[in-house]
Amino acid sequence: KNTKDMKGAGRVCPIPDSIPKSTMIPGLVVYSTRARALAVALQGVAVDSGDISSVSIDEDRGEIVYDVGVEDKWKVGRLDDERLLREAASFEARKEALGGLHFLAIHQLPKFGLMDIVFNRRKELGDEEIEGFWLMRQGNLGWKEL
């Protein structure tokens, strides 16, 4: 999705010219029924603490961590099975290969109404809006507002 049209929270860092436009950027998508509230809360943390500087994986503890500001870290999730741990290791390797470039997106879970259930209408992940998006590079300070 083009971030110019996005109405949610977030920021983007400059992408080095050395990275081809066709490169897949690794990232973390958080799905929530309260995506807007989560995105606003993270934006508030950004204002108070200097910004979300990166998402990282503590492989020893099996945790997803938001690095915020200079010294603060927030544990935001556990990776409690082997598949998730493998995906996390792949995320870290791809992020490192791109000089720390990665993203965080906060996405609304689809809402199901009674008529959706009665008529067996399917909604897929991705049908709802992105409420927050951060494109970041570990150690980067060159933010641009969305």
pLDDT digits (tens, 9 = 90+) for 25-61: 999 888 888 888 888 887 776 555 555 578 888 888 9
- pTM more than 0.85: no
As a three-state string, the secondary structure of the chain is: CCHHHCCCEEEECCCCCCCCCCCCCCEEEEEECCHHHHHHHHHHHHHHHCCEEEEEEECCCCEEEEEECCCEEEEEEECCCHHHHHHHHHHHHHHHHCCCEEEEEEEECCCCCHHHHHCCCCCCCCCCCEEEEEEEECCCCCCEEC
pLDDT, tens digit, 9 for 90 and up, residues 82-127: 999 999 999 999 998 888 899 988 888 777 665 555 566 655 555 5
In the structure, what pLDDT confidence band is assigned to residue 145 with cuts at 50, 70 and 90? very low
